[in-house]
Each structure stands twice: as structure tokens, then as C-alpha cells.
């Protein structure tokens, strides 16, 4: 079984992913892969330099994330160019890792994809868990975690699909408003119901 795990910024998806890892499930982490595909010397990084400018590469050969962020955050066209380079590489590696774990004999593989709905990757998974919190808690956690103002936090939250919309596309929702124990209890109940063997 391929389970997609998603949520929105500061809803606690990473916490649930960590719980799954501790239980022994194999995780394909889209965020981790997005960092791997732009490592120094990678073909993806070379393409970014040729399409968006070699000034985005630091003297160390690494991607200048701050400069890239400033460029794409304010320019939808540049962001689109970046996505056309990076998204196929990320998807290809996600599928490769999933196949690797299945070939190794894993019965259940977790695909941790923050933008599962935004990137329309529902076809990559069989079941979807959405980690959700009340909007007020989401805002508080994000402000505390990233040291943001209310306006900055709201801008980041509204840049993603609302959690309520994601819940509509979920096979199961974990409400992460309470304690870690409550979150883990909900997770265990879902895994048991779906008979998600390791």
C-alpha cells in the first residue's frame, strides 16, 4: 500500500512522519528529495544555472537558496521556469525510491508530500492522510516556529491550498490540535483500520 502523507505549513505533518519512521515504515520524503536533486554537480543544478542565471550558484558550487527565493517569490514566470526544471526530477526520484522499498519487500510505503494536492500527485498514492489543525493554532505555531509577524504567517498560509480543502480529498484526517499522544493514537487507529503492515 502506498500512503500519501500531507498537510499544510505548521500543521504537524513532519511530526506524524517522524512517528511513522519510528514505527519502522519506509518514508519517501519529497522535501528531502528536493534538496538532493540540486546538490553541487547535479544536472538539475546545471540546468537552473543555465536557465535562471549562473549567479544563483555560490562559489562553493551550492545553490544560493536566498537569492533563488528572492527571484522566484516575486516573479511567477521565473518560478514557473524553476518548477519545469525541478519538479520532473523530484517526481522521478520519488518513484525510484518507492519502487526500491517495494522491491525490498516493504508492504507499506509512506510518501511524505507537502504539496500533494497543489502538485496534483494523488495518482502517486492509494490512500491519503491529511494532518490538520485549527487555523488559529496553525498561525500561532508558524509565528512561534519561524519568528514571523501575523501578516508574514498569513501570507505563507494563504500561499497553500486551505487545510479544509485538503481534508475533502483525504481518506483519513489526523487532528493535531491536541497532545502528541492524541495524535499518535489517531495515527495508530488509521494504520490498524487500513491493515498497513510494514
15 is in an annotated binding site: yes
Q: How far apart are CA 67 and CA 31, in angstroms?
A: 19
Cβ count near 50 (within 10 Å): 10
> Once rounded to an integer, what is the mean pLDDT over residues 84-89?
95
Q: By C-alpha distance, which of 155, 188, 152, 190 is closest to 173? A: 190
CA distance 110 to 30: 11
Grid cell digits, residue 123: 495518482
User: Among 128, 107, 110, which Cα is nearest to 28's?
Assistant: 110
d(Cα 67, Cα 51) in Å, to the nearest integer? Answer: 15
54: pLDDT strictly greater than 80: yes
Lowest-confidence region among 101-115, 127-141, 144-158, 175-189: 144-158
Q: Using an 8 Å Cβ cutoff, are 112 and 130 in contact?
A: no
Fold: same for 1-25+106-198 and 33-105: yes
CB proximity list for 142: less than 8 A, separation 6 or greater: 9, 10, 148, 153, 156, 157
How large is the C-alpha radius of gyration of the chain? 18
Task: Determine if residue 11 is labeled as part of a ligand binding site.
Answer: yes
Across 147-176, average pLDDT: 92
Whether this prediction's pTM lies above 0.75 is answered by yes
**Over 80: is that where the pLDDT of 74 sits?**
no
The answer on whether 196 is annotated among ligand-binding residues is: no
Picking from 128, 116, 146, 132, the residue whose alpha carbon sits closest to that of residue 175 is 132
Domain boundary assignment for the chain? 1-25+106-198, 33-105
What does the alpha-carbon distance between residue 180 and residue 160 come to, in Å, rounded to a whole number?
A: 24
Q: Please state the CATH superfamily assignment of the domain spanning residues 1-25+106-198 in this structure.
A: P-loop containing nucleotide triphosphate hydrolases (3.40.50.300)
The reply to whether 10 sits in an annotated binding site is yes
Tell me: the pLDDT tens digits for 182-195? 999 999 999 999 99
pLDDT band at 160 (very low <50, low <70, confident <90, very high): confident
Superfamily of 33-105 according to CATH: P-loop containing nucleotide triphosphate hydrolases (3.40.50.300)
Amino acid at each position: 500500500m502506498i500512503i500519501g502523507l500531507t498537510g499544510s505549513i505548521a500543521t504537524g505533518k513532519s511530526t506524524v512522519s517522524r512517528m511513522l519512521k519510528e514505527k519502522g515504515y519506509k518514508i519517501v520524503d519529497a522535501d528531502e528529495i528536493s534538496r538532493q536533486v540540486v546538490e553541487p554537480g547535479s544536472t538539475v543544478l546545471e540546468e537552473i544555472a543555465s536557465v535562471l542565471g549562473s549567479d544563483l550558484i555560490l562559489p562553493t558550487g551550492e545553490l544560493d537558496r536566498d537569492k533563488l527565493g528572492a527571484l522566484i517569490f516575486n516573479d511567477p514566470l521565473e518560478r514557473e521556469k524553476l518548477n519545469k526544471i525541478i519538479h520532473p526530477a523530484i517526481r522521478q526520484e520519488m518513484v525510484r525510491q518507492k519502487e526500491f522499498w517495494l522491491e525490498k519487500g516493504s508492504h507499506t510505503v509512506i510518501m511524505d508530500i507537502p504539496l500533494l494536492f497543489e502538485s496534483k500527485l494523488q495518482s502517486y498514492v492509494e490512500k491519503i492522510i491529511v494532518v490538520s489543525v485549527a487555523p488559529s493554532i496553525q498561525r500561532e505555531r508558524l509565528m512561534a516556529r519561524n519568528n514571523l509577524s501575523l501578516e508574514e504567517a498569513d501570507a505563507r498560509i494563504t500561499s497553500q491550498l486551505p487545510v479544509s480543502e485538503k481534508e475533502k480529498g483525504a481518506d483519513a484526517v489526523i487532528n493535531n490540535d491536541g497532545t502528541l499522544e492524541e495524535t499518535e493514537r489517531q495515527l495508530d487507529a488509521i494504520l490498524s483500520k487500513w491493515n498497513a503492515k510494514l
